Amino acid sequence: MKAWEANIRRVVPYVPGDQPKGDRLIKLNTNENPYPPAPGVQRALQEMKAETFRKYPDPTSSDLVHALAERYGVGEDQVFVGVGSDDVIAMSFLTFFLSEKPILFPDISYSFYKVWADLFRIPYETPALDADFHIRTEDYMRPNGGVIFPNPNAPTGLLLPLDEVEEIIRRNQDGIVIVDEAYIDFAGASPAETSALELVKKYENLLVVQTFSKSRSMAGIRIGYAVGSPILIRALNDVKYSFNSYTMNIPSQILGVEAVKDEAYFRETVSKIVETREWAKGELWKLGFSFPDSRANFIFASHRRVPAEQLYEALRQEQIYVRYFKQPGLDNHLRITIGTREEMETLFAFLKGYLG
Amino acid sequence: MKAWEANIRRVVPYVPGDQPKGDRLIKLNTNENPYPPAPGVQRALQEMKAETFRKYPDPTSSDLVHALAERYGVGEDQVFVGVGSDDVIAMSFLTFFLSEKPILFPDISYSFYKVWADLFRIPYETPALDADFHIRTEDYMRPNGGVIFPNPNAPTGLLLPLDEVEEIIRRNQDGIVIVDEAYIDFAGASPAETSALELVKKYENLLVVQTFSKSRSMAGIRIGYAVGSPILIRALNDVKYSFNSYTMNIPSQILGVEAVKDEAYFRETVSKIVETREWAKGELWKLGFSFPDSRANFIFASHRRVPAEQLYEALRQEQIYVRYFKQPGLDNHLRITIGTREEMETLFAFLKGYLG
């Protein structure tokens, strides 16, 4: 090793999931939305002028912040936007988790929490889910430096009822509580019954994070956002501006506004996915799978007879991609994203034959 | 202060420069390129399909990396791309500046170096420029935890000759040396005489950072890149993937490739700016300004009689925006971006009358 190599940070490199290319394949492995973004996004793309790109983007993304504030009925000083919810959450770890006490998040949840905690040297503890993959709220009542959990949880798809979410927040008034709602739009007919957004008025130490990557079909554009009290949002912006003032490019800002504007399209595509999911649950059940009762755009299923890894490989052969986690506790499940009805029919037709 | 507020990181918030809006105004304050991006960028925009946005972008930005590797004659394992050079340099600070010894950068240089060092708790020292704003290479020969400097330097525009750059690298084999070449394309007829890129073959601990924001007219798209040895690039990617795998959105990846492809347009617009700069130097001189001999797309000028702040305010009244830094040592200079010939003529016509 050369002298200068001693100064290089060593991290366990994250290996991004398969992004296979091809026309014939069915991609149910990264929880993408099977429908295109709202039609206004294509129109805005057509009207965009490359000459505007010579200038820096608006560092405050004010049009997008305005659209989100209006959509969710909060002040513009209550919305923070970032390059995907990964950016928003990483900035939140940097901004809010400065305590010496460990932060808490479930042992089975979004895999990046651990990575950010390690990267920023934040101590953490990971309370175990119960045998049925449920979060046990009592685990989050001990002294801690902050709390974060996805709701619905990933990769289980399970929703923690809003009264239990509130109980966690209410009992944690010494730190920041982050509810990562990447999948919340698929959770129920009325967001008011499922999302912690309405609790933001009540708890100044609550941050709710959502994303355009799933319910708004814009994973390729990279937009995430957080809603919270003005104190939290100001602190996040201060850290963000000290890091990189100009992160969200001009196309993201313009296209993001278009996606938020079309509420009818949003509702229509989300309910198509929810409908397909509920039908898919029945089909999977008939095929001998069991699974937690997902409220997200994926189902975390294991078969009563055939090991998940074997199914994963067999599906890959057919160019049907689902997600398989080779980790203790998860390694007999497949995480299957809800695609179009046709894609799911192809999946089930193959499984019917294969499981025979 | 509430209990939970104790855990929030306090940073000195960075205030982004003015981004005034309007048709009539002349914007010479953020070193943007006055010409639009290459024509292929507009074409690619027209051909882009919003339906592709539902999927995640290629996390490795392989097409863009390929285009850059080809353009600069290096391997694909020698190119790292990020969301603007701010993202690239921030990741580099996190990745390469882990020593307990202070890193070194000039006291007058890009203002974000200090901010990132503070944010990541990296010790630093800032050797002073000499009275004429030159970097004194001998200041970088002492024990350190790494070195970074812009070349040409900002906001002075002064170019450190390549043999002096090499001397700094040669004498610093115990750490990583980063040369921040945001403005290098404006530095001379032949990049081989000015850019440290050719030294990458020779020094594995050298990282050269460049950007699409200036010479490629794409500030609004946010693309920066670093070229270095495969060891450095792998380490940067490992840290980047542990932070946020999907940062560069689909439009950036597609439009970036188009900008790199059109070498003729790139050369033409860069040389127009260089030509305007050289002519502007003569005009400023006649008006009673003095300035370091800029090799960038801006001139850092002070007037022999009228204080810079007064000129800055007078220009603002006329809707002509230049950059003024209210900091000791810099506060009698204006940083004037090179616009089109017409924009500069308007600027000089006003100054002629005002100073007259």
Read off the pLDDT of residues B94-117 as tens digits, 9 standing for 90 and up.
Answer: 999 999 999 999 999 999 999 999
How is chain B split among helix, strand and coil, in percent rounded to 5?
45, 15, 45
Query: A244: nearest CA in chain B?
Result: B86
- Contact by Cβ (8 Å): B214, B86: no
Cα of B304 to nearest chain A Cα, Å: 32
Contact A56 B204 (CB under 8 A): no
| B contacts of A297 (beta carbons < 8 Å) | none
Residue segments in chain B with a per-residue pLDDT below the cut of 70: 13-18, 189
Partnered with residue B323 across adjacent β-strands are: B335
CA B115 to mean position of chain CA atoms: 16
pLDDT of residue A301: 98
Buried b (16+ CB within 10 A) or exposed e, A309-345: eebbeebbebebbbbbbeeeebeebbbbbbbeeebbe
Q: What is the DSSP string of A126-158?
A: -PPP-TTS---GGGGSS--S-EEEESS-TTT-P
Contact B53 A217 (CB under 8 A): yes
Cα of B153 to nearest chain A Cα, Å: 19
Q: Which of A53, A84, A176 sits opposite B217 (nearest CB)?
A: A53
| A contacts of B244 (beta carbons < 8 Å) | 83-84, 86-87, 90
Nearest residue to B32 (alpha-carbon basis) of B46, B20, B15, B45: B20
pLDDT of residue B14: 67
Mean confidence (pLDDT) of chain A: 95
For residue A225, the surrounding DSSP H or E stretch is strand A224-228
Query: A28: nearest CA in chain B?
Result: B55
Q: Which of B99, B219, B237 sits opposite A7 (nearest CB)?
A: B99
Contact B176 A4 (CB under 8 A): yes
Sign of CA dihedral A177, A181, A184, A185: positive
Q: What percent of chain A has pLDDT over 90?
A: 87
Interface predicted TM-score (ipTM) over 0.85: yes
Helix (H/G/I), strand (E/B), else coil: A303 = strand
Q: How many residues does chain B have?
A: 356
Cα of A133 to nearest chain B Cα, Å: 26
Query: B47: nearest CA in chain A?
Result: A46
For residue B322, the surrounding DSSP H or E stretch is strand B320-324
pLDDT of residue B97: 95
CA dist B206 and B81 (Å) reads 16
CA dist A14 and B132 (Å) reads 47
Contact A222 B19 (CB under 8 A): no
Q: Which of A9, A32, A90 sits opposite B244 (nearest CB)?
A: A90
pLDDT of residue A16: 63
**For chain A, how long is the longest CA-to-CA vector?**
61
| B contacts of A4 (beta carbons < 8 Å) | 173-176, 204-205
Query: B255: nearest CA in chain A?
Result: A50
- Cα atoms in the 13 Å half-sphere on the side-chain side of A270: 22
User: Which pLDDT tens digits describe chain A residue by residue (356 residues)?
Assistant: 788 888 888 887 666 666 777 778 999 999 999 999 999 999 999 999 999 999 999 999 999 999 999 999 999 999 999 999 999 999 999 999 999 999 999 999 999 999 999 888 899 999 999 999 999 999 999 999 999 999 999 999 999 999 999 999 999 999 999 999 999 999 986 777 899 999 999 999 999 999 999 999 999 999 999 999 999 999 999 999 888 889 999 999 999 999 999 999 999 999 999 999 999 999 999 999 999 999 999 999 999 999 999 999 999 999 999 999 999 989 999 999 999 999 999 999 999 999 98
CA dist A328 and A309 (Å) reads 13
- Contact by Cβ (8 Å): B177, B146: yes
Q: How far apart are the first and last CA of chain B?
A: 56
| B contacts of A251 (beta carbons < 8 Å) | 221, 249, 251-252
pLDDT of residue A5: 87
Contact B116 A9 (CB under 8 A): no
Query: A232: nearest CA in chain B?
Result: B8
In the numeric block, which tokens belong to residue A249?
A: 């490019």
Q: Cα dist. A165→A141, A172, A300 in Å?
A: 12, 11, 22
Q: Which of A37, A54, A83 sits opposite B32 (nearest CB)?
A: A54
Q: Which of B5, B33, B222 sits opposite A247 (nearest CB)?
A: B222
| B contacts of A50 (beta carbons < 8 Å) | 36-37, 41-42, 45, 255
| A contacts of B33 (beta carbons < 8 Å) | 54
Read off the pLDDT of residues A18-60 as tens digits, 9 standing for 90 and up.
Answer: 677 777 899 999 999 999 999 999 999 999 999 999 999 999 9
Helices (H), B32-152: 39-47, 62-72, 84-96, 112-119
Contact B220 A56 (CB under 8 A): yes
pLDDT of residue B143: 96
In the numeric block, which tokens belong to residue B318?
A: 């006329």
Query: A147: nearest CA in chain B?
Result: B4
Query: A53: nearest CA in chain B?
Result: B220
| A contacts of B321 (beta carbons < 8 Å) | none
Please report the number of interchain residue pairs, chain A to chain B, with beta-carbon separation below 8 angstroms.
282
CA dist B93 and B106 (Å) reads 16
pTM of the model as a whole: 0.95
Cα of A55 to nearest chain B Cα, Å: 5
pLDDT of residue B6: 86
Q: Would you call B295 exposed, middle or buried from its count of C-beta atoms within 10 A (0-12, 13-18, 19+)?
A: buried
| A contacts of B255 (beta carbons < 8 Å) | 50, 53
pLDDT of residue B41: 98
Read off the pLDDT of residues A140-160 as tens digits, 9 standing for 90 and up.
Answer: 999 999 999 999 999 999 999
Contact B45 A48 (CB under 8 A): yes
Q: Which of B13, B95, B204 sits opposite A9 (nearest CB)?
A: B95
Query: A245: nearest CA in chain B?
Result: B16
